[in-house]
Structure 1
């Protein structure tokens, strides 16, 4: 059985202000660093075989902080970079709703292309790390795309607002995915 523990990156200033980040490469803020440290304290190295991260600053730094405690083999994968939201990046929800009420943001990565890219990355993980326990640090839209796909749409995009530094677990056994849990934040001191 292959297991993937999905961790959303820690908070950034844009998260705090409610601005859409997407492909804009924003670093962690102090709260995000603390969230990554608390995630590291919660996770046990003996429970995992490898740590994979999106190459974007906020996810990579979260992974580096976690791995400073776990010391796992570390790999970056472009497949797990956040979705580009084009002209909507940097805008708050109110600004996006006013400018793009149909949510059709100019120059964004199309949803089907994004899901295909992310799930191609998941397939690579299964192929490269069969029967391994994988930690994957990525982004809200990336994790929601994975949860949506593996749950058949029961949870994930449009239904689940993932908190910064939340933990979700999925298992792959007998060529079938199972969502074990999602959006877990009990390891964080502020619970959010």
Structure 2
């Protein structure tokens, strides 16, 4: 696979719009929260950045916050893919990092397990399937998903361990683009507010 001079970007990432829990820093995986008013506005703001771009496939997490973001951004036809769901935090669902660190000092999703939730190995396996789907199509793939899952997906795209997702801070209602440059998987744009 080679790049054209115009940079054939391969994998476009959109983090869903703001929810009540994302605004307050609460870990949200299986809790299916709607977007806030600001989250809906942020999703609508993505329309211009995505307009006119041709995508070979458009995928979304099954969670309503991702599906609604896709819809408001002009991609109501996005195919639901469970592999894009947020990292399952298990017993830490709904808690903030400082709350978790009261009992597990130094805890982060990147460095410690989440009791009752997914392991980094499990997350890597499902996000590797997304990478494979993106590489299998001729053209661009657009995905709508979540903060930690997209950060982990980026690490996997780059051939890194899931834990290296810690290096890629990602805000709500942002666009990022991963691609290929001279045979290497690269980050072309990151955390762009429309």
Which TM-score band applies after superposition, normalised by the shorter structure? Answer: 0.7 to 0.9
- What pairs up with 1:43-82 in 2 under 5 angstroms? 43-67=50-74, 74-82=78-86
SS in 2 for 1:109: coil
Aligned to 1:131: 138
2:93 maps to 1:89: yes
1:104 CA drift (Å)? 3.0
Aligned to 1:181: 189
1:25 CA drift (Å)? 1.6
Aligned to 1:162: 170
1:173 CA drift (Å)? 6.8
Contact 1:150–1:179 under 8 Å retained in 2: no
SS in 1 for 2:165: coil
Aligned to 1:109: 118
Aligned to 2:4: none
C-alpha RMSD of matched pairs (Å): 2.3
Aligned to 2:40: 33
1:108 CA drift (Å)? 1.3
Q: 1:94 to 1:46 in 2, by over 3 A?
A: closer
Greater mean alpha carbon deviation, residues 141-150 or residues 170-179: 170-179
Listed one character per residue, the Cα deviations across residues 85-128 of structure 1 (whole Å, up to 9, x for unaligned) are 0001101121111133244321010011111111112212322x
Contact 1:2–1:173 under 8 Å retained in 2: no
Please point out which of 18, 21, 24 is paired with 1:11.
Answer: 18
So what's the TM-score if we normalise by structure 1? Answer: 0.84
Paired residues, number: 181
1:30 CA drift (Å)? 0.7
Listed one character per residue, the Cα deviations across residues 27-78 of structure 1 (whole Å, up to 9, x for unaligned) are 111111000000113321344343211111111110011126xx7x521111
So what's the TM-score if we normalise by structure 2? Answer: 0.83
